[in-house]
Amino acid sequence: MITIHLEPDNEVIELHGTKTVLAVLNRLKLRSTMAIVARDGQLLTPDRRLNPGETLMVRKVTSAG
């Protein structure tokens, strides 16, 4: 299981069976340039692999305005 902190929505989402950053983005219906993804304060590219139990920050980049 991967825990996602979604910003700026301030939601916590749990995902099962996602093994890469790209898979997480797909599940969240986000294209790779629509959000930045970080683990332990480090940015990750979509090809990075994830391990069960990890927590990610996913921040959507589109600002209204």
55: alpha, beta or left, given left = phi > 0 and alpha = psi -120 to 50?
beta
Give the total of residues touching other proteins (CB under 8 A). Answer: 20
CB of 16 to other proteins, least distance (A): 25
16: Cα within 13 Å, side-chain hemisphere:
0
x/- map, 1-40, other proteins, by CB under 8 A: ------xx----------------------xxxx-x-x--
Strands 2-7 and 11-15, by their bridges, are antiparallel
The residues binding other proteins (CB under 8 A) are 7-8, 31-34, 36, 38, 42-47, 59, 61-65
